[in-house]
Structure 1
Amino acid sequence: MLNNFYGRVSNAFKNKPYRKAVIVSAILIILNAFKTTLFNYLMLPKTGGDTLGYKFWISLLVCVIVFSFVLSLKSRYVFLIVYIIQGIYCFTNISYFLYYHSYLHFLQWISLFKEAMISASHFANPISVQLLVVFIDVPVALYIFFKCFKREVKSTRLPFLRNAIIGLSVAILLVIEIFNFANGQSVVQFMDDRYSGETRIVERYGTVVNGIVNIVQNNTEEKLINQFNYGKNISSPSSVTTSKSTSQQPNYVVIQVESMDSNIVKQKYKDSYVMPYLSSLMDNSVYYPYTLSYHKGGGTSDAEFSVINSVETLDSFPAIKLSSYSYPNSVVSKLAKASYNTMAFHGNVGTFYNRNIAFSKMGFKKFYDISSMNYDDEGWGAPDDKVFSFAFEKIEKSTTPFYTHIITMTSHGPFESARHYYNNKAYDDIENEIVRNYYNSFSYVDKSIKDFVEKIQAKYSNTYIIIYGDHTPNVNSQDFAQASFIEGDKYFEFVPMFLLTPDHKKYKEDSFVASFLDVSPTILATSNLSYNVKTDGKSLLDTEITPANIPFKGGSFDRSWLFNTISNHKYVEEEPLWRKYLPSFISSSLIERHK
């Protein structure tokens, strides 16, 4: 039997086209394993050479199994489909990680597919040289597609050799996993830790296994909903009753500003503030320079979700898309039950993040998107000043106290929408296009907010106005660096928070960061209503009270530590990829000398 096998193998390799196909296939498997290794390596916080080597050998064994089977099917189109699927998977995962610094999960990917396609059509997804990793083996793959599925190659079949190679690779992987389990390094042991366990799984097994583990752990909405941690229960003072007249109840305007991070409101260009109005509020409002953003599995929607419901959002799924969630902690619902006119406005389509469904369940009596406002896309979405004007018209028609939640759109990345209707020539000489457009966008946004806020204050003096950013803009350069830092496997983003009160209170926090969880307690504490709410936040007006820690990705973080860390953080340009990923035995000085 063995003699027959060796004879068949020997005869097969005498066939020159087949021999060439085998050699090229082996090269593809090695290159693909290298690509897969770098793909996973790019998404690990800090990893040494030992881990890189381990990942390469594991990836090589997996690639041997997958491509041995795929190529044995003798179909160039099956091969092409598998290869394209892998490429899309790697590309989207790297792009997601570059923006969110967390892992994209399969269920999350499916849920956000529509949003991802719309974002891609507006070129809003991050572009980086790291994405070139996906194309490392493209030339070899194309060669195989066009040259290695010809009749003289397809006619040669060695199923025993294929099965032996696959079986041996599987056996080696099983032995490695037995050793992993014995040393406490198995996926079975990692999967119980929802946060740090993810990094360990990606480190040892890759993102695909991590995605499978996530499906096992979060395959029902009930499991996801049970992950919400609402914090302690707080209530209104006993002196407050629900019998007070609505005339004593203040109005609320909440403005959530797209991509406004903590640093842009303090940023100057040629000695002038990019946002002169909001920068003036630093000394004329209750101002928290740094507010920890929840920017996780639900992207931008995590901001309004956590603000309104005073709860940390989910890591692996957009919380706003939980169809069976009833929003029991929503501050909007509490105000709506107290006869407030609750309205939301957004210059994007209402189906984006299912806001048209979720906002109603949160307690909004009316949600106006770009369609219901009868506006057209100008760039991406309706211009902010038009949305503010529409919102003001609806506010004027309100006969009861109102809660108005406005989500801006113009300053969404890649920050080109404002160019359709606004251009501040002061920034035309900035070479970095992203920074130039970012400054121009926020120059426009600042003016739009100023006009709207001044109209509200002039006509509705008994109104609390809260202005905050949703997340950082993913802009880091020598010209402008966002307010964010990485600690271990956690990525912290910071946005500003302004609170304008009817009595024009002034306060500037210089020791603690605020939290999205603080907005709901602030509103309820000033509402003159009887209330109960579960929260880890506190009223932004209670400036004498030491605030509790902020829950974030399985940890609990001291607000003063966060403040000190981000306020002292300095942008450092990332080292070149060749220096970061080439083996250490290649002299960096030699490379520098020949650059």
Structure 2
Amino acid sequence: MPGLDLISFIFTVTIKLLFFGKEIEKGYFTYKSIFIPVLSSVLLFAAIGFLFNKDKRFKIYTIFNIIITLFIVADLNYFRYFKDLISLPIILNGFQLGAVKNSVGNLLKATDFLYFIDIFIFLIIHKLYKGHKLPAINFKTRAIISIALLLVGVTGNAIKIYDLSKEQPRLLSSMYNKVYVATKLGGVNYHLLDSYNVAVNSISKKIPISKETKEAMSSFLINNSKKSSENLKGIGDGKNLIMIQVEALQGFAIDKTILGKEITPNLNKLMKRSAYFNNYFYQTASGGTSDAEFISNNSLYPTPSGSVTYLYTNNEFNALPEALAKKGYNTSAFHGFRDNFWNRNIMFPKYGFQEFHGEKDYNIDETMGLGLSDESFFKQSLKKMDNLKEPYYSFLVTLTSHFPYEDTEKYGDFPVGEFEGTLLGNYLKSIHYTDKQLGMFIDELEKNETLDNSILVLYGDHYAIPKENKAELAKFLGVNDFTELQWMELNKVPLMIHFPQDQHKGVYEIYSGQVDLYPTLANIFNLPAENMMGKDLFNSKEGKVIFRNGSFTNGEVFYLSQDNSFYDMNTGNKIPENEKLTAFKESVINELEYSDLILRYNLLK
């Protein structure tokens, strides 16, 4: 039958793209809402392929199908871990996955290979019927059909893209919420728009920022730095700063027990002796741990795609270690993994760290997960810190509690009951192990009286449990399931700031995020607080947390960009958008854009 390959291509690729849409967002998705843009995007490829004769056409459709399917599977696995989609900058950084292949492999499902079945079936059918002569379609007819398909595809896409641009005017140009774009326009259209935006952004770097935008950005940054900062101002001047970024330390594990045993006994003890921020959220994007390092030391938002550590290696930064170095501090970073992973050997000096102790500076005498165990890391780091001249800033990044938490036989005996053998159970074992090593490290700092002249900061870098495993987490927390709002509220990581003699201890409930850490420390250590996106947590009365996908909260309302809805945090119910909330949303988009512009144009130079 002439044109069977065309019909088969349109049908099978449309079906798999619809299933993909369902997989990446189950809460508010309908096949009806996404059918037109999905079909329209497939018709564009169908139109191109149909211009060729039947032999070349089959090969072209097969190639198109394979490419689209590979992107579907890549998107699915990336989504399972990051709750985001692959983009061109991420692909360019893709070689990082070589070091975390176990983590990626753990996300791959057998059902993912079902997306390839149609390709193999049609390859077999084509081989069986290759010798049969079927009526050919002349070029004129093929051209007419191709133009018709192209017109239908372009029209369908244009209507849906226009509707989305009206619904959220700056979404398609900023692509701050890639998942929402894909669930509204389909996976193929998302990737086409992503490629277009990458090209436009690359060209736009050569075009100066408009005077109006520059003035608005300058006004925001000036006003943000002028906020009151009298409380605790300069209290840390001359004292050491020891900051620990803990891999995958999520808030739900703090102050919890299982089978009557504390999961994080040492962190629980530190929490009671510190200023503890219980509504502190991670704000990382696709850069993961490197994003947390960047946000916490720079008070800027991460890039919407890829990682700052690869996209902006030539930039100048206004970072915490550089500001402390200018005050005479010795600044050092410590991490027991490969020096060049996330470009740390390049970026840490850019941030102002005078020394970076990476894998090459450690004796790799015990490995767990990705690399050096936390026990060995802390023991060796203590010896290195003993040689530092005070005052100093030591920034330590842990490693053992990295997804997928598989070295269970090395974590020690910590029973997790009914969660034995599950991802959650393995995580609880790994974070209990890390907690033990943190306890040892802090005890040593106390024994040698370092804590008497130091401010100790500890926080988690990002989430621990992927959404794919939310049923395990729900069971552990004693609930049936999570709403989208409840899941977003679980994106909290602990922040503890310990002062000498346990001063200023207590629970601080202000809604905050990693972007607020540098301004807070800038006030404590009496540093300049210019060109920062965050707020000083000891002097701010109003909370605010902005996420890279455009979601945000002030502790009273929570805007979820994935369904473009506002929620009352007291009731959990949706609330209608009004002028005040619209203005809030606009200010959030502006803030994310200002941060992006600072990086794109290297404005801190």
For residues 491-550 of structure 1, the C-alpha deviation after alignment (integer angstroms, 9 at most, x for no partner) is 9721111111113035443642332122212322222x45343334344444xx413523
Distance 1:132 1:352, change over 3 A: same
Amino acid corresponding to residue 375 of structure 1 in structure 2: I
Matched, 1:309 2:301: no
Shift of 1:370: 1.6
State the 1:61 CA deviation. 2.0
- 2:373 matches 1:407: no
Report the Cα offset of residue 412 of structure 1. Answer: 0.7
Corresponding residue to 2:184 among 195, 203, 206: 203
Q: C-alpha displacement at 1:385, in angstroms?
A: 1.4
* Residue ranges of structure 1 left out of the alignment (5+ in a row): 1-12, 14-18, 571-595
Residue number in structure 2 paired with 1:233: 225
Partner SS for 1:404? strand
Aligned with residue 497 of structure 1, among 495, 498, 514? 495
The yes-or-no answer on 1:381 pairing with 2:371 is: yes
* Contact persistence 2:225–2:529 (CA under 8 A): yes
Superposed CA deviations along residues 323-369 of structure 1, whole A, max 9, x for unmatched, are 35534321110011222111111122122211111111000111122
Deviations 1:14-71 (A, max 9, x none): xxxxx7xx54663343112111222244345633343133244324523533553678
Question: Using the alignment, how far apart are the partners of 2:411 and 2:156 within structure 1?
Answer: 60
Normalising by structure 1, we get a TM-score of: 0.79
Partner secondary structure for residue 405 of structure 1: strand
- Identical-residue share of aligned pairs (%): 21
Distance 1:55 1:73 in 2: 29
Distance 1:428 1:180, change over 3 A: closer
The 1:496/1:489 distance shift into structure 2, 3 A limit, reads closer
Distance 1:143 1:73 in 2: 14
What amino acid does structure 1 have at the position aligned with 2:498? L
Q: Which has the larger radius of gyration?
A: 1
CA RMSD of aligned residues (A): 4.1
Matched-pair contact (CA < 8 Å) for 1:254–1:404 = yes
Deviations 1:437-477 (A, max 9, x none): 11110111000111011111222121111111111113444
CA distance in 2, matches of 1:189, 1:198: 15
Q: Distance in 2 between matches of 1:297 and 1:218?
A: 18
Structure 2: how far apart are the matches of 1:221 and 1:385?
47
Matched to 2:389, the amino acid is T
Q: In the TM superposition, what is the alpha-carbon distance from 1:490 to its structure 2 partner?
A: 8.2
Q: Where does residue 169 of structure 1 map in the other structure?
A: 149
- Residues 57 and 197 from structure 1, CA distance in 2 versus in 1: closer, same or farther, beyond 3 angstroms? same
| Distance in 2 separating the partners of 1:41 and 1:54 | 15
Task: Give the one of 316, 327, 330 matched to 2:319.
Answer: 330
Match of 1:531 among 528, 545, 548: 528
Unaligned regions of 5+ residues in structure 2, if any? 560-566, 574-605
Q: Which residue in 2 is equivalent to 1:287?
A: 276
Q: Which residue of 2 aligns with 1:574?
A: none
C-alpha separation in 2, matches of 1:555 and 1:436 = 30
**Distance in 2, Cα, partners of 1:135 & 1:425:** 42
Gap change, CA 1:86 and 1:360, over 3 Å in 2: same
Instruction: Name the structure 2 match of 1:84.
Output: 66
Give the total of aligned pairs.
542
1:124–1:403 distance in 2 versus 1, CA, 3 Å: farther
In the alignment, residue 534 of structure 1 is paired with which amino acid?
Answer: N
Aligned counterpart, 2:98: 117
Query: In the alignment, what sits opposite 2:457?
Result: 466
Distance 2:395 2:207 in 1: 26
Structure 2 counterpart of 1:207, one-letter code: Y
CA distance in 1, matches of 2:52, 2:453: 69
- Call closer, same or farther: CA 1:224–1:371 in 2, change over 3 Å: farther
Give CA deviations for 1:217-262 in whole Å, capped at 9, x if unaligned: 42269489989986722599899999x9x9x611111111111111
What is aligned with 2:516?
Answer: 518
CA distance in structure 2 between the partners assigned to 1:350 and 1:34 by the alignment: 44
CA 364–189 in structure 1, closer or farther in 2 if over 3 Å, else same? closer
Matched, 1:552 2:535: no
The amino acid across from 2:43 in the alignment is L
Change over 3 Å in CA distance of 1:123–1:41 after alignment to 2: closer
Query: Which position in structure 2 is the counterpart of 1:426?
Result: 415
Q: Which residue of 2 aligns with 1:582?
A: none
Tell me the CA shift for residue 565 of structure 1.
Answer: 7.8
State the distance in 1 between where 2:53 and 2:569 align: 51
Three-state SS of the structure 2 residue aligned to 1:256 is: strand
Give the letter aligned to residue 558 of structure 1.
Answer: N
* Corresponding residue for residue 357 of structure 1: 346
The residue identity in structure 1 corresponding to 2:507 is E
Tell whether 2:444 aligns with 1:455. yes
8 Å CA contact 2:551–2:558 kept in 1: the answer is no
What SS does the aligned partner of 1:533 have? Answer: coil
- Mean Cα displacement is larger for which, 233-242 or 450-459? 233-242
Deviations 1:283-306 (A, max 9, x none): 222111231111213222111100
Question: Structure 1 CA distance, aligned partners of 2:394 and 2:208?
Answer: 27
Structure 1 residue 272 corresponds to structure 2 residue 270: no
Aligned to 2:17: 36
Deviation at 1:429, TM superposition (A): 5.6
Relative to 1, partners in 2 of residues 1:184 and 1:392: Cα closer, same or farther, differing over 3 Å?
closer
Kept in 2: contact 1:28–1:140 (CA 8 A): no
Cα distance, 1:107–1:240 mapped onto 2, change above 3 Å: closer
- Partner in structure 1 of residue 591 of structure 2: none
Q: Secondary structure at the match of 2:280?
A: strand
How far residue 165 of structure 1 moved from its aligned partner, in angstroms, is 2.8
Q: Could you tell me which residue of structure 2 aligns to residue 398 of structure 1? A: 388
- 2:473 partner SS: coil
Aligned equivalents of 2:328, 2:170: Cα separation in 1: 51
Provide the rounded CA distance (Å) in 2 between the counterparts of 1:32 and 1:411: 39
SS where residue 396 of structure 2 aligns? Answer: strand
What is the SS of the residue equivalent to 1:406?
Answer: strand
Note closer, same or farther for the CA distance 1:154–1:341 as it changes in structure 2 (3 Å cut).
farther
TM-score computed with the length of structure 2 as normaliser? 0.77
Equivalent residues of 2:519, 2:529 under 8 A apart: no
3-state SS of paired residue (1:493): coil
Structure 2 distance, partners of 1:429, 1:64, is 51
Counterparts in 2 of 1:526 and 1:490: CA distance versus 1, 3 Å: closer
